């Protein structure tokens, strides 16, 4: 075993979801090694235990896996399962950790961020429950990176990741496993595959965009089994640079899918996932289902799906996610929780059996079957609901609005803003929080303005400064926070929501409906002036 001297790097603090930096940063000598050693130092349970390793196939995935294997062997890990070709989606890692009682997993991904040598890379640690390590662990890992002096690795030949099979590295057992099988088995246990395949037999048209990211092989195996023709799965081959695009399922980056779905003879059902397979979007012909609505509709219909036929225990959503799911929970008589942005905040509620479903505006939804958000699970959930209701996506969404009212919702992102300018916008709003309630802006009266603090109902851990929120008496609101996943400058996210009751105007233009709220947010925060931006970089 070799012990290599090293010195700390600044800024190895995990963000919303692990450590994400440019490839250039990650490939500096010792950068990845320092972070990985900090994981082994802070999670002693890994010694003598099973570790799962895989990633989304982006540039540097293969090199990083070899480094991690050599370090795992030196740090006393007994056995490692690695996805064939280094490929494992984030939800698959979560499923495999849980199925095999592993002590944890290391996922190599920067999610929806671009890949390739000039793109981004990332690493995140998932705990024994299959979920993202909680803040107590990520804080400890960060603290360790700041004082690290050396890391351990064994000398070894490169492991062939391309073939399934077993080998040994200094006493540590390495198994290269099928990337898809365990995950597929779990999906088949939750959904009515016979009913879903009948949709395709009866001619329902479908398009899934894997965005040249990790879900390609999963989608081919699972949708293939359901009878979906290969041609209906586009961009299915994972590429190290995602074909030059951002593997981010939104109208800009999943343009091909959106064009198909909004064309006159477009498919009946469309969907896409992201770089590491944990996000999803769902579309009907000519209709994009907002992720907030998707969570609400899944919650209202879950009892129709075999894996959830006993009903749901509760629902959680992140603070900026619209309150559509709360309305469903209220009617079902189950609790609704509001958590900070970041999947890790759902873990305790799921482990404690307080919720069955959870989701976020950032295109994430999942259930208690694993401890990550799950892109293909959400698509299968929708397909199963379409099969059970015998109605297309578009009709299911419209009927939901007619029943519950509509939470018009959109997110405006201001990307690559100079960090100081972005912080000045946040500060300006923060400074006004106390004096805002009662103020009138056009037709809106402010009812509350606060900085979101979350007290975990299970372990009572308090997370402060989780975004700023301004609520109006009408039920509308806006929220503002800084993204924790960007790698260049700062990204300001402005979240807009307006509630329209069931007897109101349910088919109005989304952005026009939200414009008055966006204008008020801009007036209060000085967002456009302070950032020198006339428009958001991305609207989703």
Q: Which residues are catalytic?
A: 111
Nearer to ligand G16, 183 or 200 (CB): 183
Nearer to ligand G16, 121 or 404 (CB): 121
How far from each other are the two terminal CA atoms of the chain, in whole angstroms?
A: 50
- State how far the Cα of 376 lies from the Cα of 150, in Å rounded to an integer: 40
Nearest distance from residue 278's CB to ligand G16, in Å? Answer: 5
Nearer to ligand G16, 169 or 417 (CB): 417
Binding segment toward ligand G16, per CB under 6 A, in 262-270, 294-302, 338-346, 494-502? 338-346
> How many angstroms separate the most distant Cα atoms in the chain?
70
Contact of 326 with 278, CB cutoff 8 Å: no
Using CB under 6 A as the binding rule, whether residue 98 contacts ligand G16 is answered as no
Nearest distance from residue 363's CB to ligand G16, in Å? Answer: 7
- State how far the Cα of 165 lies from the Cα of 156, in Å rounded to an integer: 17
Nearer to ligand G16, 84 or 111 (CB): 111
Binding residues for ligand G16 restricted to 109-128, rule: CB under 6 A: 111-112
Using CB under 6 A as the binding rule, whether residue 208 contacts ligand G16 is answered as no
- State how far the Cα of 537 lies from the Cα of 535, in Å rounded to an integer: 6
Nearer to ligand G16, 266 or 342 (CB): 342
Q: How many residues bind ligand G16 (CB under 6 A)?
A: 17
For Cα atoms 66, 87, 359, give the angle at the middle one, nearest 5 degrees. 125
Out of 34, 75, 129, 362, point to the residue binding ligand G16 (CB under 6 A). Answer: 362
The answer for residues whose C-beta is within 8 angstroms of residue 119's C-beta and 6 or more apart is 22, 23, 58, 59, 110, 113, 241
DSSP conformation class of 307: G
The crossing angle, in degrees rounded to 10, of helices 510-525 and 419-432 is 80
Using CB under 6 A as the binding rule, whether residue 360 contacts ligand G16 is answered as yes
Question: Which helix (H) or strand (E) segment is 329 a member of?
Answer: helix 324-332
DSSP conformation class of 344: G
C-alpha closest to that of 513 among 253, 251, 290: 290
The answer for residues whose C-beta is within 8 angstroms of residue 161's C-beta and 6 or more apart is 62, 65, 82, 84, 85, 86, 176
C-alpha closest to that of 158 among 240, 31, 67: 67
Contact of 367 with 375, CB cutoff 8 Å: no
Binding segment toward ligand G16, per CB under 6 A, in 62-70, 76-84, 249-257, 336-344? 336-344
Using CB under 6 A as the binding rule, whether residue 339 contacts ligand G16 is answered as no
Window 10-39: contact mask with ligand G16 (x via CB under 6 A): ------xx----------------------
Binding segment toward ligand G16, per CB under 6 A, in 177-185, 299-307, 341-349, 441-449? 341-349
Binding residues for ligand G16 restricted to 238-277, rule: CB under 6 A: 274
Nearest distance from residue 343's CB to ligand G16, in Å? Answer: 4
C-alpha closest to that of 222 among 199, 200, 193, 195: 193
Contact of 258 with 283, CB cutoff 8 Å: yes
Binding residues for ligand G16 restricted to 137-176, rule: CB under 6 A: none
Nearer to ligand G16, 250 or 476 (CB): 250
Nearest distance from residue 405's CB to ligand G16, in Å? Answer: 25
Nearer to ligand G16, 16 or 61 (CB): 16
CA quadruple 111, 487, 104, 75: dihedral sign: positive
Using CB under 6 A as the binding rule, whether residue 134 contacts ligand G16 is answered as no
Task: Give the Cβ contact number of residue 283 at 10 Å.
Answer: 28
Out of 79, 220, 279, 400, point to the residue binding ligand G16 (CB under 6 A). Answer: 279
Nearer to ligand G16, 482 or 530 (CB): 482
Window 465-504: contact mask with ligand G16 (x via CB under 6 A): ------------------xxx-------x-----------
Q: Tell how far CA 314 is from the center of its chain.
A: 20
Nearest distance from residue 86's CB to ligand G16, in Å? Answer: 18
For residue 279, report the phi and psi dihedrals to the nearest 5 degrees: -95, 160
Q: Which residues make beta-bridge pairs with 167?
A: 174
- State how far the Cα of 243 lies from the Cα of 234, in Å rounded to an integer: 12
Nearer to ligand G16, 358 or 380 (CB): 358
Nearest distance from residue 481's CB to ligand G16, in Å? Answer: 7
Out of 85, 216, 342, 536, point to the residue binding ligand G16 (CB under 6 A). Answer: 342
Binding site for ligand G16 (CB under 6 A): 16-17, 111-112, 274, 278-279, 341-343, 360, 362, 364, 483-485, 493
């Amino acid at each position: 075993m070799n012990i290599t001297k090293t010195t700390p790097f600044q800024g190895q603090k995990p963000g919303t979801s692990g450590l994400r930096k440019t490839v250039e940063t990650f490939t500096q000598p010792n950068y990845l090694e320092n972070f990985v050693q900090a994981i082994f130092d802070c999670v002693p349970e890994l010694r003598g235990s099973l570790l799962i390793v895989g990633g989304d196939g982006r540039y540097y995935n293969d090199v990083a896996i070899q480094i991690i294997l050599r370090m795992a062997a030196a740090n006393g890990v007994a056995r490692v399962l690695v996805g064939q070709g280094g490929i494992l989606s984030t939800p698959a890692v979560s499923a495999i950790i849980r199925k095999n009682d592993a002590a944890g997993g290391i996922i190599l991904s920067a999610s929806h961020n671009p890949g390739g040598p000039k793109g981004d890379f990332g690493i995140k640690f998932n705990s024994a429950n299959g979920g993202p390590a909680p803040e107590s662990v990520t804080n400890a890992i960060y603290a360790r990176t700041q004082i690290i002096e050396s890391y351990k690795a064994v000398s070894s030949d490169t492991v062939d990741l391309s073939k399934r099979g077993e080998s040994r590295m200094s006493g540590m057992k390495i198994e290269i496993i099928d990337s898809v099988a365990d995950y597929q088995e779990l999906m088949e246990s939750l959904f009515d595959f016979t009913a879903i395949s009948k949709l395709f037999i009866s001619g329902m048209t479908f398009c899934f965009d894997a965005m040249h990211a990790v879900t390609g092989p999963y989608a081919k195996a699972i949708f293939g089994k359901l009878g979906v023709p290969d041609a209906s799965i586009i961009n299915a081959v994972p590429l190290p640079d995602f074909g030059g695009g951002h593997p981010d399922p939104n109208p800009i980056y999943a343009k091909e899918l959106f064009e198909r779905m909004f064309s006159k003879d477009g498919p009946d059902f469309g969907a896409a996932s992201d770089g590491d397979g944990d996000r999803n979007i769902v579309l009907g012909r000519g209709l994009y289902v907002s992720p907030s609505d998707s969570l609400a509709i899944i919650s209202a219909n879950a009892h129709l799906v075999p894996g959830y036929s006993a009903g749901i225990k509760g629902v959680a959503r992140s603070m900026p996610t619209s309150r559509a799911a709360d309305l469903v929970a209220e009617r079902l008589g189950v609790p609704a929780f509001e958590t900070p942005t970041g999947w890790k905040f759902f873990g305790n509620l799921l482990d404690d059996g307080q919720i069955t479903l959870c989701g976020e505006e950032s295109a994430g939804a999942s259930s208690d079957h694993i401890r990550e958000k799950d892109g293909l699970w959400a698509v299968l959930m929708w397909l199963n609901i379409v099969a059970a209701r015998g109605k297309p996506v578009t009709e299911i969404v419209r009927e939901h609005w007619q029943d519950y009212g509509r939470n018009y919702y959109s997110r405006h992102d201001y990307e690559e803003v100079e960090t100081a300018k972005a912080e000045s916008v946040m500060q300006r709003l923060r400074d006004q929080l106390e004096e805002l309630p009662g103020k009138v802006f056009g037709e809106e009266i402010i009812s509350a303005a606060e900085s979101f603090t979350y007290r975990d109902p299970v372990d009572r851990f308090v997370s402060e400064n989780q975004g700023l929120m301004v609520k109006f008496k009408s039920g509308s609101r806006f929220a503002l926070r800084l993204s924790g996943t960007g790698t260049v400058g700062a990204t300001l996210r402005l979240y807009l929501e307006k509630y329209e009751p069931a007897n109101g105007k349910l088919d109005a233009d989304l952005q026009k409906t939200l414009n008055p709220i966006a204008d008020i947010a801009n007036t209060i925060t000085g967002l456009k002036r302070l950032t020198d931006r006339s428009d958001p970089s991305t609207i989703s």
